[in-house]
Chains A and B, each alone.
Chain A
Amino acid sequence: MAMKELYARLKALYPLGELTDQRRDLAFVTLPAAHLRDTILHLRDKEGFTHLVLLTAVDWLEEGQFQLTYLLNNRQRACDLGLRVMISRDAATMEGIHDIWPTAATYQRELREMFGIDFPGSPRIEEEFILEGWNDIPPYRRDFDTLKYAQEAYAERPGRVTHDPETHMRLQMYPGQHPAGK
C-alpha cells in the first residue's frame, strides 16, 4: 500500500514505467537512464531511501540490453525499492553515482570489469579489481562461455565423468531400462 502511494508521488515527478510489486516491502520500477540521478537524489533526500543496498547488472542478451538494478532501502519504513535502468549492450556507458554514495565506486568498478559497463569519472575505474591480466570478453556477460574458457586455458586431470542428471537418475532408479525411454 505504502509502495503504491510512493509510486504515485514519484510518477507525478518522473516518467516511470510500471511498478512491479514483488513483496509487501519490495518493489521494482523501470525508469529511463537520464532521470536516474534526479530520482535517486529525490528518494534519498525526500523519501528516506538513504541506504544503497546493491548496484548490479543483469545481461539480457536476447534483447541486447543490460539491466542495471539500484536497490535502495528505507530503514524507517522497512521497505526497498529497486530502480531498473535499461541501457544498450553495445558501448554500454552509464553515469556514476559515486558522489551520492562513495561506496558505489566499488560496485561500478566491478561492473566495469565483469560486464564491461563504463562509468566515466568513477574513482579507480581503470584499475583491475578482481581479475588480473584478463584477456577475454568480460566474464559475467552471457555470451562468455566459462566452461569452454576453462577447458582451453587450464590443464585438466583426465577421468572426470559428467552425467546428464535426468538420464543418470533414470538409470539409477530403473536399471535395465533404455535411457531414452520416457
Chain B
Amino acid sequence: MMTKPELMKRMVKGPDGLEFEVDPLRDYYCEAPPTVMPGAYIQIVEDFFNWARSQSLWILGFGTGCGAIEMRPLMTPRFDAYRFGVAWRPTPRQANLFIISGYLSTKTLKRAIRAYEQMQNPKYVIGLGSCTINGGMYWDSYNTIKKLDEYLPVDLYIAGCMPRPEALLAGFEEMKKIIRAGKAEGANQYAENFAWYKANQKRVIHDWDMPDYNW
C-alpha cells in the first residue's frame, strides 16, 4: 500500500522561523478518548432533558447512500418533517441524529465514522434501508459492510429498499419514544466499548490514516 506523503511525519518551518515536527495523524487538540456522559442527578431532571432532546432531532445532511433521495420530499410541505422538530444541518457539529441512508462502502464508512465522532453528545444513529441491517441487495458485495451496528452504535433501523417517506416519519416518532424512555444510549455505548468498535472498524478499513478518535 502506498503511504500518502502528506500524512507522513515531517519538519515544518513556522512563520516565526522556528522548526517543529508535525504528525498529521495526531489530533493535537484532544487526544482523550470519548467518555461516558452520566445522566442528571435526579431522574425527573433527566426525563425532562430527554423530552427536550426528543423534540429537536437535527439530522446531519450526509447522504451516504441512495436512501438520501427520499429525504428531500420530507423537507417539502407534503410530508413536512419539520413539524416534528426534525431539521437538516450541513455540519456534524450542529447535528445530533446521523441517518446512515443505505449501504456503506468501506470508503464511506471511514467518513461516516469521522462525521459521527465529530457530532456533539447526545447523538443518535438511525440505519436506513435493508442494506444497513444485513447487507440487503449487496449481501455478497466485496465493498459494502453488512452489519452497521458492528461499527457504529445504532439506535433504530428502518427496513425497506428503499423505505418510503412515511416509514421515515414513523421512524422519527419511534426514535423520539426511545429517547424519551432514556434508552438512546448509543454515544455512551460507543464510549464504553470504544476499543471493540475501533477494532471492528480497523478490520475493514485497511488504510487508517486518521486519528483514532476524531474529536
Contacts and interface: CB of A to CB of B under 8 A. Distances in A.
- Report whether over half of chain A's contact residues are helix, strand or loop; otherwise say mixed: loop
Contacts of B1: 133, 135
B139 A133 contact: no
Contacts of B35: none
Interface string B186-213: 0000000000000010011111000000
Contacts of A136: 142
A133 B4 CA distance: 11
A150 B141 contact: yes
A150 B204 contact: no
Indicate the size class of the contact surface on chain A.
20 to 34
Nearest to A153: B204
Contacts of B59: none
A130 B133 CA distance: 24
A154 interface: yes
Interface string B133-164: 11100011111111100100000000000000
B146 A146 contact: no
Interface string A132-149: 111110010000101101
- Report whether over half of chain B's contact residues are helix, strand or loop; otherwise say mixed: loop
Nearest to B108: A132
Nearest to B208: A133
A154 B146 contact: yes
Contact of B134 (A130, A133, A156): A156
Contact of A132 (B110, B147, B200, B203): B110
Interface in A90-148: 126, 128, 130-136, 139, 144, 146-147
A108 B195 CA distance: 40
Contact of B206 (A134, A144, A155): A134
B106 A157 contact: no
B183 interface: no
Contacts of B203: 153
A131 B107 contact: yes
Contacts of B134: 156-157, 159-160
B206 A154 contact: no
B206 A156 contact: no
16 contacts: A126-B2, A131-B107, A132-B110, A132-B206, A133-B106, A133-B207, A139-B142, A144-B142, A150-B139, A150-B146, A153-B142, A153-B203, A154-B146, A155-B200, A157-B146, A160-B135
Interface of A: 126, 128, 130-136, 139, 144, 146-147, 149-150, 153-157, 159-160
The 3 closest A-B pairs by CB, nearest first: A133-B206, A133-B207, A147-B140
